[in-house]
Structure 1
């Protein structure tokens, strides 16, 4: 498997984010065993310690839980935790950056909202 690495973020963060996305997509369900640090290391050609660091981030956030001797598993509330985290961190940062850029370009609030609505329609398959 080849990952398109973002060189601005540490690899272990990207591993954690990739696993979060895999969980959100439904590729890993509640109480299902997740990849081991060695499987991730092999999949992405990285150091197992780097992979372990990504897994441990998710365990610290209660997205994954450990079963001693068995590995890491997807927690019961993993989807809700990830959605809340991404709304409160990623989405808010993107909106903040969007509003700042709109101000620089003299795009008013109504125009910006109309652009968001139009993009949403386009993404859902509506006509432009």
Structure 2
């Protein structure tokens, strides 16, 4: 697959998420120019329409804006908006299911916290 894309999710969403990741991490800051669609097409070796769909979605969401003839730029407040959305998604996708499963298994909050800390320590080794 091209540049490590996951087959379970549409490529345009993965391109969008990769740009969002750069905004969240601060690699792309408010007002920074993002790569052009042509540059993204060449980098990922994917169809122009796929990249255009990702960029269009980001414009619709207000995370980037286009300056005709100049390029595309990170919108003001994009990092905070993306962080807020990702945190909400984290709760819905991971935290709530984990809490429900822990309750089914009879685990206490302290048990879960202990497991998280233990796993985190193993990861850092």
* Alignment TM-score, normalising by the size of structure 1: 0.82
The offset of 1:62, in angstroms, is 0.9
Separation in 2, partners of 1:80, 1:119? 28
Structure 2 CA distance for partners of 1:92 and 1:119, relative to 1, 3 Å: farther
CA distance in 1, matches of 2:29, 2:110: 40
Aligned partners of 1:12 and 1:54 also within 8 Å: yes
CA-to-aligned-CA distance 1:36-71 (integer Å, 9 cap, x gap): 111111101100110111111111111101111222
Displacement of 1:3 after TM fit? 2.9
Query: Gaps spanning 5+ residues in structure 1: where?
Result: none
Segments of 5+ residues of structure 2 without an aligned counterpart are none
Corresponding position of 1:46:
46
- Comparing both structures, which one devotes a greater share of its residues to helix? 2
Q: What residue is the counterpart of 2:64 in the other structure?
A: 64
CA root-mean-square deviation = 2.3
Find the aligned partners of 2:24 and 2:80 in 1 and give their Cα distance: 9
Question: Structure 1 residues 21, 118: closer, same or farther in 2, change over 3 A?
Answer: same
Deviation digits for residues 6-56 of structure 1 (CA, Å, limit 9, x no counterpart): 211100100010001111222212111101111111101100110111111
Task: List aligned pairs for 1:69-88, cutoff 5 A.
Answer: 69-88=69-88
Residue correspondences, number: 124
Matches within 5 A, 1:1-128: 3-119=3-119, 122=121
Higher relative contact order (CA 8 A, sep 6+): 2
